[in-house]
Structure 1
Amino acid sequence: MLGDYELLGRLGEGGMGTVYLARPRNGTALVAVKVVRLDLADDDEFRRRFRSEVERARQVPPFCTAEVLDADPEHDQPYLVVEFVDGPTLAEVVEQRGPLTSANLHSVAIGVATALTAIHGAGVIHRDLKPRNVLLAPGSPKVIDFGIARAMTATSGNTRPDQMVGTVAYMAPERFDTDAGTPITPAADVFAWGSVVTYAGTGKTPFYADSPAATAARILTQPPRLHELARPLRGLVAHALEKDPANRPSARELLDLLISGDRPAATAAALADQPDLRAAAAEAQAVTGFAIPAKAMAGATTTAPTLNIPPGLVGYDENSIVTVPISSPPADTVITGDPPPAPRRRWLLPLVLVLLTAVLVAGAAIVAVMVRDRADRSGQPSGDPGGTVADPVLGEPRISDALTGPGFWSASDQPGEGRCDFADAMLVARRETNGLYKCRGPADELPANLTIETTLRLDTPDSCAAIWFRFDDSHGYQARICERNVYIGVHNRDGKGDVSTIRTFVLKEPLDRGTAYRFRLGVTADTVTVSRDGTDLGSARLTEAGYGAGRMFLGVFNERTAPKTGPFQVSYSDVRIWA
């Protein structure tokens, strides 16, 4: 139980915390409960902002949004209760099935524009609109997590006042502006809408590049690449992706143009057999009134802001959630450039919605793209294309992550300690000197009895893979997998990182560096059993009293006989945890 809610299962995890499927104590309707991370919960300023943002978010009408139902900012772990949306994320659908068909794309564009119209009409700015925050629910798309991102920027455990949180590929140019106090406006969400629609229609973001730094530079200095986007939407998306926020349409203008623009057949196909989406769009238009352009459609040229590229961006993909410093950068990290000429204006706001009636009665078949899997419906990243494959004995895993990019595990970098990032579709843990380093993994406390399975590769001499389990703060158990031996040990309570060995398994066939192996740890009661590629290596007794439920980490260690300098590097993929 958490407050008045019975937690039924785990849906996912994101930047703010963990999301659970739940049921009210005195009700039957399912809800999603987002439990705030412990490091955020200890920050008084975060709680104050969290309370304020939740109250504002509760004023958003439920037009293509997941309704905010309840919250308890004063709980030991503050939580937020929202409508449970039974459907996959837009990111999952595109990753698994490819770009959307024309009719489906148009309906998603209408649904997200409807949601932004409702959100902005309530005085809220989303701040992190992206495909993983768009759920393709039966009836209409739903946008989630609006307005809460601002509360996170107040906590020293997550960001400082001179930083911002965002997802690079969907961030508007003004969000990279180094001028202190530059406000975020609803126009940033409109820019993100253009990037989301481009991704949904092409499988690529409009400024995609080989790194987030290059992506950000393209956002600031280059026109979007929209040649693969279907023509009915291409002009409006280009308008939403203007460099100058004052030149972009408002969310309401987007909605009006989508509903009654110059492609009535496309709109008819998008709304056919979707009465919920049709009604939500009409209600959003009725509630917000007639749209007034924020600025005349005449072109204007602006100077692109200076971009601060932190070294920590290296190794992320363009969809990574990153913390970008907005203070003055070192000279060698500044990217500047002249903006492209302002594109020609192609859109004028309709004075009347004369085509709406015709659209509402038009009919056309729409291809269903909804994947009705109950796993990871929270809108948070899962990163696992194979998570639906159940083990014949253990069944469905509780946590499953392919480790091809940020998901349950995220990148981290502690100078002088170590770093974890994603490369070659694997999670790479690395230290330059001997010692241990843990990658940031699921924040959940896992049961004492569990099975952990992952593929790992030793990349450099004297390197060892390290898997921690039943870990609480600075102590727990550790399995260290090296070229010739597997060690089961206790990570001591003294906080110094000392690990004492309980048992050593000598590998009859040493591991080859650069070769991937599948390891499994079966933890039950006071025993852990180790296997490699389906072959049991043996069992060890877990000797410490009081080591029960706890967290689980992946990371890098080294052989006891290793030199003081490395590097020491291990790569992981496809981790699954059964409880």
Structure 2
Amino acid sequence: MPLRAGDPAELGRYELVGRLGEGGMGTVYLGRGPDGRLVAIKMVRNEFAHEAEFRNRFRSEVNRAQQVPPFSTAEVLDADPDHEPPYLVVEFVDGPSLAAEVKEKGPLTGAALHGVAVGIATALTAIHGAGVIHRDLKPGNVLFARGGIKVIDFGIARAFEATSQHTRTDQMVGTVAYMAPERYDPVGGRPVTAAADIFAWGAVVAFAATGRTPFAADSAAATAMRILTQEPDLTGLPESLTGVVARALAKDPDDRPTARELLDLLLSGDTHRTVAAATVAVPTVAGGPGTVVAARPRFGRRAAVLVTVLAVLVAAGAGIGIRYLSRGSGQVSGTGPLPSAGVPSAAQPSVTPSMTAEQKTQAILRGTRKTLIHVDEIDRDLAMESHYTDLKVGDGTGAKSEFALIPAGVEFMIRYLSDPETPEPCLGIKFNPAGAARVVTAECYATEGTLFRASKTGETDDKGRPTYWISNESYGVLQWSPDSKAFYVEVLGDAPPAASFSFVDRGPLPSPSTGG
């Protein structure tokens, strides 16, 4: 991605030539060193950089990371903890992530799957051997490179998580679906050790083999609860990996193998014999072939921990420091159109005059009512006339401004109710490599470009309706440009969204069209 206005042109002796991504810790740039070599540079966010304690921890963790042998990992090349802001330079790996490969081509099988399992275990052996804990192992941090697997983004997470200002539970570094049970109770329970990475390895390998995480649920809070209280669903995992993955996902960190033991198990090819010797049972249970349970955990987790996890994840929306990966969980299929939304069912009651603005909005979000989507900052409404291809604004009159939300797991598609006699189009994102992505009409298929999410702003509009930011997981936040008079989608990083939306009830949905 190109650099944005406000991005630095250089960091230290490195020229910045583009963006690779961003996350809770900072922005990752594509850079060029004095010798012309391309590198990946992680620039730390300002909120962390201004703390002396953080800089000291960052320096210590970088020194450890530089001791990690570079086989199966992205080599740490350089760092400047004293720069304003601090940054870390690592080897640039020009290859797709495991997350992208599974999303594009489907789950891995055979030698490819086993190679990924061995490659990640090899990387963890090197990382743990240097006294480093990764803390955020996930499919997005596993890259396919020339010569094999490369694990990235290890070695500095502890500096972020351990700094005094960032030890609140809502600032944990990690991704919910791959976090070990002990990560949710670091104070009252056991300290986080390298065993947390082994748990993440098990979840990542299960995802690579099945396209979903073993504790997948409809929300971050529900996923965390499953991790803490339920056994993994390993349906679809090949028998050759089921035993060792089940052991890696044990609730008690003491029941998990070390990285070296994990690698030995994989290379020996006799995982079932070794697991049995370790008294880790993996019986088949009711619920389908391949559904397994690990040994009954001895690691005690009090009910208070569950309450804390729920409160934090619900309040934070899993968006502060913790990211919930809904994609790849098996919740949404992209192989065909979703059915048209019909009239409200008994389980989804109609709106009545006595209902609050919040209750009406929830009925709309469940896909049971027509809606205007109001842009609060400009006091106008979304509109899509039949001859337009781009999303516009209107005055809220006529069918051109009426939409219906089609729920798809924790996300939804936005269907335009243009003409009951024709198949209704949905809103979709048209990617533009040279600038912001546009919002256009698209067929109503659940794809990366048609799925949106609504996040509460905590505010209400002038009618008392709750307001939301609307975003797409891959392309960013829905925004309005007063200059071009058009909507666009953009990844904002730390900047707050400039547009918020409220949902205005417009009555019951029409009968489903034949083409929807």
Q: Structure 2 length as normaliser, TM-score? A: 0.61
1:56/1:103 Cα in 2 relative to 1: closer, same or farther (>3 Å)?
A: same
Deviations 1:312-339 (A, max 9, x none): 524999xx66658xxxxxxxxxxxxxxx
The reply on whether 1:17 has 2:26 as its aligned counterpart is yes
CA contact (8 A) 1:211 1:316 kept: no
Offset from partner CA, 1:521-552 (integer Å, 9 cap, x none) = xxxxxxxxxx9869xxxxxxxxxxxxxxxxxx
The 3 A distance-change label for structure 1 pair 508 and 34 is: same
**3-state SS, counterpart of residue 136 of structure 1:** strand
For 1:464, the equivalent position in structure 2 comes to 374
- State how far apart, in whole Å, the 2-side matches of 1:97 and 1:505 are: 40
For the 8 Å contact 1:68–1:82, the answer to whether it is kept is yes
> What is the distance in 2 between the residues matched to 1:244 and 1:13?
33
Change (3 A) 1:6 1:19: same
- Aligned twin of 1:227: 235
- Separation (CA, whole Å) in 1 of partners of 2:189 and 2:81: 27
Q: Structure 1 residues 12, 479: closer, same or farther in 2, change over 3 A?
A: farther
TM-aligned CA distance change 1:147 to 1:481, over 3 Å: farther
Shift of the 462–211 alpha-carbon distance from structure 1 to 2, 3 Å rule, reads closer
- Does residue 3 of structure 2 align to residue 7 of structure 1? no
Opposite residue 182 of structure 1, the aligned amino acid is R
Structure 2 residue aligned with 1:170: 178
Determine helix, strand or coil for the equivalent of 2:120. helix
1:93 aligned onto 2:101: yes
Q: CA deviation at 1:261?
A: 2.5
Is the counterpart of residue 512 in structure 1 residue 402 in structure 2?
yes
Match of 2:142 among 118, 129, 134: 134
Task: Give the deviation of 1:169 after TM superposition.
Answer: 1.5
1:305 corresponds to which residue? 301
Say yes or no: does 1:151 pair with 2:41: no
Which of these residues, 381, 386, 399, is aligned with residue 482 of structure 1? 381
User: For the residues of structure 1 that align with 2:195 and 2:248, how far apart are their CA atoms?
Assistant: 8
More strand, by proportion = 1
What is the match of residue 218 of structure 1? 226
- Tell me, yes or no, if the aligned pair for 2:215 and 2:223 is still in contact at 8 Å: yes
Distance 1:566 1:177, change over 3 A: same
Distance, in Å, in 1 between the alignment partners of 2:374 and 2:119 is 49
Mapped to 2, the partners of 1:35 and 1:79 lie a distance apart of 4
Q: Deviations over 1:67-103 (max 9, x none)?
A: 1111111111111100000111111111111100211
Matched to 1:177, the amino acid is D
Q: CA deviation at 1:28?
A: 1.7
C-alpha change, 1:460 and 1:57, in structure 2 (3 Å) is farther
SS of aligned partner of 2:172: strand
Residue 178 of structure 2 aligns to which amino acid in structure 1?
A: Y
Deviations 1:438-471 (A, max 9, x none): xxxxxxxxxxxxxxxxxxx9x99886336xxxxx
DSSP 3-state at the match of 2:401: coil
Give the structure-1-normalised TM-score.
Answer: 0.55
**Structure 1 position 566 matched with structure 2 position 476:** no
1:506 shift after superposition: 6.2
1:192 partner amino acid: A
The correspondence of residues 261-410 of structure 1 with structure 2, limited to 5 A, is 261-262=269-270, 297-298=278-279, 302-306=298-302, 307=306, 308-314=308-314
Matched, 1:190 2:213: no
For residue 224 of structure 1, give the secondary structure of its aligned residue in structure 2.
coil
2:220 touches 2:324 (CA, 8 Å); kept in 1?
Answer: no
- Note if contact 1:10-1:20 (Cα within 8 Å) is conserved in structure 2: yes
- Would the alpha carbon gap of residues 162 and 479 (structure 1) be closer, same or farther in structure 2, given more than 3 Å must change? closer
Distance of 1:557 and 1:242 partners within structure 2: 38
Counterpart position of 2:42: 34
Question: Percent sequence identity over matched residues?
Answer: 53
Greater per-residue helix proportion: 2
Distance in structure 1 (CA, Å) of the matches to 2:459 and 2:71: 54
Q: Write the letter of the residue equivalent to 2:11.
A: L
1:558 positional shift: 9.7
Question: Following the alignment from structure 2 to structure 1, what is the Cα–Cα distance between the partners of residues 396 and 262?
Answer: 63
What is the SS of the residue equivalent to 2:159?
helix
Q: Does the residue aligned with 1:40 lie in a helix, a strand or coil?
A: helix
Cα deviation 1:209-237 (Å, max 9, x = unaligned): 23233322222232222231011111111
Code of the aligned partner of 1:186: A
Q: What is the distance in 2 between the residues matched to 1:114 and 1:218? A: 28
Q: Residue 84 of structure 1 aligns to which amino acid in structure 2?
A: F
Letter paired with 1:305 = R
SS of aligned partner of 2:201: helix
* C-alpha distance 116-532 of structure 1, shift in aligned 2 (>3 A): closer
Residues 1:58 and 1:460: Cα distance change in structure 2 (over 3 Å): farther
The one-letter code matched in structure 2 to 1:51 is R
Q: Is the CA contact (8 Å cut-off) linking 2:456 and 2:468 kept in structure 1?
A: no
Secondary structure of the residue aligned to 2:126 is helix
- Per-residue CA shift, 1:367-426, capped at 9, x if unaligned? xxxxxxxxxxxxx999999xxxxxxxxxxxxxxxxxx9xxxxxxxxxxxxxxxxxxxxxx
1:495: which partner in 2? none
Q: Gaps spanning 5+ residues in structure 2: where?
A: 1-9, 281-294, 333-356, 359-366, 385-392, 405-414, 417-425, 430-437, 442-454, 477-488, 493-516
Q: What is the match of residue 537 of structure 1? A: none
Residue 167 of structure 1 deviates from its aligned partner by: 1.6
Q: For the structure 1 residues 558 and 213, does the alpha-carbon distance in structure 2 shift closer, same or farther, using more than 3 Å as the test?
A: closer
d(CA) in 2 for partners of 1:555, 1:210:
17
In structure 2, distance between residues paired with 1:479 and 1:162: 33
Shift of 1:567: 2.7
Are positions 1:47 and 2:60 aligned together? no
Give the distance between the partners of 1:96 and 1:142, measured in 2 at CA. 19
Alignment partner of 2:211 out of 203, 225, 233: 203
Contact residue 134 and residue 142 of structure 1 kept, 8 A: yes
| Closer, same or farther: CA 572–261 of 1 in aligned 2, 3 Å | closer
Could you tell which deviates more after superposition, 300-309 or 569-578? 569-578
Shift of 1:146: 1.0
Which is bigger in relative contact order (C-alpha 8 A, separation at least 6)?
1
2:41 partner amino acid? V
